[in-house]
Amino acid sequence: MAGKEKKNKGAENRVKSSSRAKGASEKSKPSSKKDDAGRRAVIELKELCKFYKMGKSEVRALNGVKLKIFQGEMVAIVGPSGSGKSTLMNMVGCLDIPTCGSVYLFGRDISKMAESDLATLRGKTIGFIFQKFNLVPYLNALENVVLPMVFQGAPLPERNRRGKEILDVVKLSDRKTHKPSELSGGQQQRVSIGRALANNPQIILADEPTGNLDSETGKSIMQFMRELNEKFGKTIVIVTHDERIAKTCDRTIFIEDGKIVDRIHAL
C-alpha cells in the first residue's frame, strides 16, 4: 500500500512540475494582463454579447457581460436554465465567437483569431469536463485519457507515459484497461477529468460535473477538483445549478437573462 501511495505521489509531483513549467512559459509572454493587485487575468470578458436569430426574433444569450477570472481561481457560474451559462462557457472555451465585445485568454483577443488558431489554443490551454462524461465506449480508461494527445499529434510512447501518470493522479491506475461500461459513475468522471488534464491545460471548464452522480460521489469529485486547483494551480470554471457546489469554489458568479446580476465570495 505504501508503495502505491509513493507511486501516486511521484506521479503527482511530475504532473505538478510540468504544470509549473508551462505556467512559467506563459508568464513570460508580454500579452499577460494583471489587475491592480498584480493578479494575472487568464480570462477577461469585455462587454461580451452573443445574439441568435430565431425566426423574426432575436435572442440575446449574452448581453454586455464583463468579467475577469484570475490564474489559480476556482469559480462557479450559477444561473437558471436559459440564463446564458452554456453560451458563456462556449465563448471562454473557444467553441464560439461573440456577436460583439471581446474574449481575452492570456491577453489574446480570440474574437480576432482564425478558426485554426482557435483550435490550437483550445487544444493546448483548455480542458473540458462534461456532465455526461462523453467517454468513447470502445476505448479503455487509458485510451480515453490520452485521446486529446492523439489529436495534438503526440507520439505513442509519450501518450502512454502521460496517460499512466494521470491515471495514478486520478487514482485509477488499476483500472487502465477497463472500458467505461466496466466503471462506476464516479470512476467514469475521474477518467473524464484525467482526459481534461491530458495536454496539461491551464484552464479547466466543467459543465455540471456532478450532475449525473449521487451526492456522495459528487462531493468526492468536487474535493478532487479542489485538489487539482490547489496542488497544480489549475484555473477551474464550473457551471452548476447547485449552490452547494458553488460554495466549494473561491467565487460565485450569478448570471440571469444573459447578464451578470451579482457576485459573492463563497463562505
pLDDT mean over 173-200: 94
Instruction: List CB contacts of 204: < 8 A, sequence separation 6 or more.
Output: 126, 127, 128, 129, 196, 197, 225, 228, 234, 235, 236, 237
Instruction: List CB contacts of 207: < 8 A, sequence separation 6 or more.
Output: 86, 89, 128, 129, 130, 131, 239
Q: Say if 156 falls within a structural domain.
A: yes
Answering whether pTM is above 0.85, one says: no
Q: Say if 113 falls within a structural domain.
A: no
Q: Which residue has the higher pLDDT, 117 or 23?
A: 117
- pLDDT tens-place string over residues 144-180: 999 999 988 899 999 999 999 999 989 999 999 999 9
CATH number at residue 145: 3.40.50.300
What separation, in Å, do the N-terminal and C-terminal C-alpha atoms of the chain show? 36
Instruction: Tell me how far apart the alpha carbons of residues 66 and 44 are, in angstroms, rounded to a whole number.
Output: 8
Q: Say if 134 falls within a structural domain.
A: yes
Q: Say if 220 falls within a structural domain.
A: yes
How much of the chain, in percent, has pLDDT values that exceed 90?
48
Q: Which class for 49: exposed (0-12), middle (13-18), buried (19 or more C-beta within 10 A)?
A: middle
Q: Say if 57 falls within a structural domain.
A: no
Q: Say if 64 falls within a structural domain.
A: no
Q: Say if 32 falls within a structural domain.
A: no
Task: List the domain range (segments joined by +) for residue 231.
Answer: 2-27+72-97+118-264
Q: How far does Cα 41 stand from its chain's mean position?
A: 16
Residue 85, C-alpha cell as written in the block: 451559462
Q: Say if 53 falls within a structural domain.
A: no
Total tally of structural domains belonging to the chain: 1
